[in-house]
Copies of this chain bind each other. A is one copy, B any other.
Amino acid sequence: MNMLENIPSSPKMKRKEYRSAMTRLENKTGELQREAVNSKIPVIIIFEGWGAAGKGTLINKLMMAFDPRGYNVHPIKAPTEEEQMRPFLWRFWTKTPEKGRIAIFDRSWYRRLSVERVDGKTGKKDWKRAYHEIKSFEKQLVDDGCLIVKFFLHISRKEQKKRFRELLANPATEWRVTKDDLRHHRQYGKYFKVFGEMLEGTDTDYAPWTIVESKNHNAATRKIFMEITGRLREKLSVPTTASPSCPVSGKSESAGKSIIGESDLSLSLSRGEYLEKLKKCQERMRELEYEVYRKRIPVLILYEGWDAAGKGGNIRRLSQSLDPRGYEVVPVAAPSDVEKRHHYLWRFWNRIPKAGHIAIFDRTWYGRVLVERVEGFCSQAEWNRAYDEINEMEKQFSDFGAVTVKFWLNIDRDEQLRRFNERRKNVWKQWKITEEDWRNREKWDLYLGAVDEMLLRTNTLHSPWTVVESNCKLYARIKTLETVIESVKKAL
């Protein structure tokens, strides 16, 4: 059934009654906001609905009740050129609120399931897929502790017509009614169906819709405040600390032998072969860089590996011949304090390449299931959830047309020791080795388990892993170059 049918109209209230109810609700809203700040809960409030249903006025009323230091309002229009060059959810990921802050969306990612769909701006395949992407996006945020409140402001076709007429009759407001508004009004029936489908398809336990009959402004206002205070109160009453211990394997030893244990580290290349191949590969890379640029394909090259496995030198050989306008190396270190206040994927969404560009990640989002897991920087429930979250994100990149190449640079323990000692002795390399490297080395086995599980659980068809045997640096460099070339060629 269409959720927009048979909406009970809200009970009318006397003006005085309304006023006193609102004073209470507004105070309560402010109080709950402060509690949400203290409890570090990020809140997303979405306003969708018919044109002229009163979104602007209602949002402003809400803003007045909040402490202005705690929220941002995001009016969502058609995507800009910059935004079109990234996966659909990019511009929303980058706008997700910090822990303790509120993001109010005046229209949202639901544009894709409504106006963009009806206007034919988004193809059927894309908006169909958006259902899944949106639900997964909201789920990930809620899993991370976010509260999502979604309002749909409903008015009837008759009421909309009346409102547009009134606006048009007044020279001071006439300009606010756009041609698009009038066209959408003529398509009311079509939109009714599409909105209904959208609401039904995205009405989940973790992020349910609230449909607000908005003919009566006061009743709508009250309903919105009641819903927000109710949902906030509910969220605050649930302890958000330590996730329940999950019945999770942790290590995947049960799956049998180690994947990287099987990599043949004796593979090597002579200097002569290397130089010859390097030259050819680098030339090919430069050509491919131009081709992906012209075909607007984004390329992500991900480097993970043991300390001293040779990531830096490898990346250098890969990028040496490239045009700096077309690629970027994204070094990933510990998150800053601002980054820590967001979902762990937020900082990566901020750095994904735009169409036609290459991003080389020196360490990646896989830190969640490697260092963060091993060092206990996140809970077991968190890193265990991360495999699916990461697969989901990479799937979205792939659906957008991106090529993702993932490398694990593999060396054995003896080789690492040899390199550590060499670094210690060489005056040009001393800066590369720190106490932390030695500490990490102590935890080799823990990391080994984490690496194996990562390779097992995130090796997908669209974004496969390549284990690069790196005891011989020359061999490793050529293998990564050739792998990138193959992967990009396949996409072209």
Contact = CB atoms under 8 A, between A and B. Distances in A.
Given A80-B81, A106-B324, A60 B338 contact: no
A315 B80 contact: no
B172 A287 contact: yes
Given A64-B316, A287-B172, A319-B63, A333 B106 contact: no
A324 B428 contact: no
A323 interface: yes
Interface stretch (A67-75, A200-208, A230-238, A254-262): A67-75
Q: How many copies does the complex hold?
A: 2
24 contacts: A34-B431, A56-B323, A60-B319, A63-B324, A64-B320, A67-B312, A68-B315, A68-B331, A68-B362, A69-B362, A70-B331, A73-B324, A73-B328, A75-B325, A80-B80, A80-B82, A81-B81, A82-B82, A104-B324, A175-B294, A336-B336, A336-B338, A337-B337, A337-B338
Interface string A47-62: 0000000001001100
Interface of A: 27, 30-31, 34, 56, 59-60, 63-64, 67-70, 72-73, 75, 80-82, 104, 106, 172, 175, 287, 290, 294, 312, 315-316, 319-325, 328-329, 331, 333, 336-338, 362, 428, 431
A333 B100 CA distance: 15
Nearest to A317: B64
Secondary structure at the A interface, as helix, strand, loop or mixed, is helix
A333 to B, nearest CB: 7
Contact of A331 (B31, B69, B290): B69
A143 B106 CA distance: 42
A77 to B, nearest CB: 9
A413 B323 CA distance: 62
Contacts of A362: 68-69
Contacts of A338: 336-338
B106 A325 contact: yes
Most buried by B among A72, A323, A328: A323
A106 B312 CA distance: 23
A164 B60 CA distance: 57
A106 B75 CA distance: 33
B333 A69 contact: yes
Contacts of A320: 60, 64
Given A81-B81, A336-B336, 17 more contacts: A30-B428, A31-B428, A56-B324, A60-B322, A64-B320, A67-B312, A68-B312, A69-B333, A69-B362, A70-B331, A72-B328, A73-B324, A73-B328, A104-B324, A106-B324, A106-B325, A338-B338
Contacts of A328: 72-73
A213 B159 CA distance: 72
A492 B222 CA distance: 38
Contacts of A294: 175
Most buried by B among A34, A72, A104, A325: A325
B336 A60 contact: no
Contact of A324 (B34, B69, B75, B315): B75
Contact of A68 (B31, B290, B321, B329): B329
